[in-house]
Amino acid sequence: MQHSSSARPTDVTAGDVPQAAPAPWLDTYFGVSRRGSTLKTEILAGIATFLAGMYIIVVNPAVLSDAGIPFSAALSATVLISFMSSLAMGLYARNPILVAPGMGMNALFTYTLVLGAGLTWQVALGCVFWSGVMFAVLAMFNVRKAIIEAIPLSLRYAITCGIGLFITFIGLQNAGFIIGSDATLVTLGNMDASLATFFLGLVATGVFVILRFNGALIMGIALTTLLAAPMGRLWGDEVMVAWNGLAAWPDFGAVMQVDIVGALKVAYLPFIFVMLFTNFFDALSCFMALSESANLKDKDGNPRNLKRSMTVDAFASMIAAPLGTSAAQTFIESGAGVAQGGRTGLVAVVIALLFLPFLFLSPLLSLVPGIATAPALVLVGLFMMAPIGKIDWQHFDQALPAFLAIILMPLTYSITLGIAFGFMSFVLIKALTGRLGEIKPAMWVSAALSVLMLLTAQ
């Protein structure tokens, strides 16, 4: 997924030795044989990555529908932006990377901006648009080095982990596994058919992941939907799965509903900044991880075509808002295709084309109930916890801000608040311990924006 900043780590191995030369035009444009690949390998790699990341077709509309965007409209937007941005990644950046609406970004959009801060989903889409504009500026002027150096590694890791815990909490809530309690704030839900179905689906999906099945999350969603089908018919009181048809024309009801002007308020600036920060570092970390694991590097040892890839990611965020979805970002699930030997932009082109048929399948996909997508959310949260071991817990000037960022996201039900307190505590601790030189200018700006957000939120 999203790697929120979405995503499951993938073991990557070298591609197979080419058995036959690809078509001449593929060699000319994508450099297939030059990268040590074949046409067959690139196509199979595209299919592998699509299977690993296609869960977003169902999960993203399910999350956005909580913000008020109709499921069918959110599904159309998800498919369109995934097709367009992955195609651009293949043809322009020529990298084997999936780009689609990211986990973490959709949670920030729905549960922090809309349900938490009270923005309409149209204004929240405006915030997505402006964060994409800022991302594009950063990508075009190539200022990533200064920004990377400003934010300490511990906080970058902590933000990924915190978003993971938050997404897991949402999944457990959606399943009814965790419910509200006047006495203890939260407690275990009622032991009924719905909870049992979710738990069985979670365990089964975990087994698929452990056994390294391609498309493990989408297999888990399908299985849990099947387990939920008898509910309200053979047992339980509520019908969870109802047939609404197989196919229909796409619903473009959310297209051009973005409120670009309404998002231009000082009070919304911290939200835009958090979206920018999260998307920027998710993209950068994904590119760096894939380049290291599969040697997708240029002659200087940097991720291949990084500037072009970041530009695609930025414009994907801008385009996502007018289409009616939260920001698109690179998926670490792209490692599934790289593991199959995929090395060129042809992989991303294959991925893009595989998304298109789902534009017409919203009635079929609306069969999937909330308890079926909940296991995927829980496991995405687990995958995003991977960097927690990289945080230096022995040095409290790093550990305390990181801990606050991680724990406050689920406890305050706000990604923004977790990041804000992480930034503010880092700056204060460094200042009060006489280490002002360790605070970069961008961190001062980040802390100031965090204070502004807290003041305007009251």
With respect to residue 173, please indicate whether it lies within any of the assigned structural domains: yes
With respect to residue 1, please indicate whether it lies within any of the assigned structural domains: no
Position 457 scores a pLDDT of 56
In sequence order, the 6+-apart residues with CB closer than 8 A to the CB of 221 are 55, 58, 59, 205, 368, 372, 373, 375, 376
CB 43 within 8 A of CB 350: yes
d(CA 439, CA 458): 28
CB 1 within 8 A of CB 102: yes
Q: How far is CA 77 from the centre of its chain?
A: 15
Please determine, for residue 5, whether its predicted confidence score (pLDDT) is greater than 50. Answer: no
| Mean of the per-residue pLDDT values of the chain | 86
The model carries a pTM of 0.81
With respect to residue 309, please indicate whether it lies within any of the assigned structural domains: yes
Please determine, for residue 401, whether its predicted confidence score (pLDDT) is greater than 90. Answer: yes
- Based on the domain organization, do 191 and 267 belong to the same domain? yes
Q: Find the angle CA(382)-CA(117)-CA(56) to the nearest 5 degrees.
A: 35
Please tell me which residue, 191 or 339, carries the higher pLDDT value.
191
Which residues make beta-bridge pairs with 188? 178
% of the chain at pLDDT higher than 90:
46
With respect to residue 432, please indicate whether it lies within any of the assigned structural domains: yes
- Among residues 337, 371, 388, the one where a domain terminates is 388
**Hey, is 101 helix, strand or coil?**
strand
- Among residues 353, 368, 388, the one where a domain terminates is 388
pLDDT band at 395; cut points 50, 70, 90: very high
- Based on the domain organization, do 194 and 343 belong to the same domain? yes
Position 142 scores a pLDDT of 62
Total domains, the chain: 2
Position 156 scores a pLDDT of 84
- Based on the domain organization, do 207 and 235 belong to the same domain? yes
Find the mean pLDDT for residues 242-246. Answer: 81
CB 410 within 8 A of CB 165: yes
- Based on the domain organization, do 371 and 427 belong to the same domain? no
- Based on the domain organization, do 187 and 211 belong to the same domain? yes
Position 146 scores a pLDDT of 65
With respect to residue 172, please indicate whether it lies within any of the assigned structural domains: yes
Find the mean pLDDT for residues 433-453. Answer: 84
- Based on the domain organization, do 400 and 365 belong to the same domain? no
Task: State the residue range of the domain holding 425.
Answer: 389-457
Query: What is the helix (H) or strand (E) element at residue 329, kind and residue range?
Result: strand 328-330
- Based on the domain organization, do 367 and 449 belong to the same domain? no
- Based on the domain organization, do 365 and 401 belong to the same domain? no
Find the mean pLDDT for residues 134-160. Answer: 78
In sequence order, the 6+-apart residues with CB closer than 8 A to the CB of 148 are 284
Position 147 scores a pLDDT of 67
Position 148 scores a pLDDT of 63
- Based on the domain organization, do 233 and 368 belong to the same domain? yes
Q: How far apart are the first and last CA of the chain?
A: 34
Position 13 scores a pLDDT of 42
- Based on the domain organization, do 148 and 258 belong to the same domain? yes
Please tell me which residue, 178 or 20, carries the higher pLDDT value.
178
- Based on the domain organization, do 359 and 404 belong to the same domain? no
Position 6 scores a pLDDT of 42
- Based on the domain organization, do 101 and 246 belong to the same domain? yes
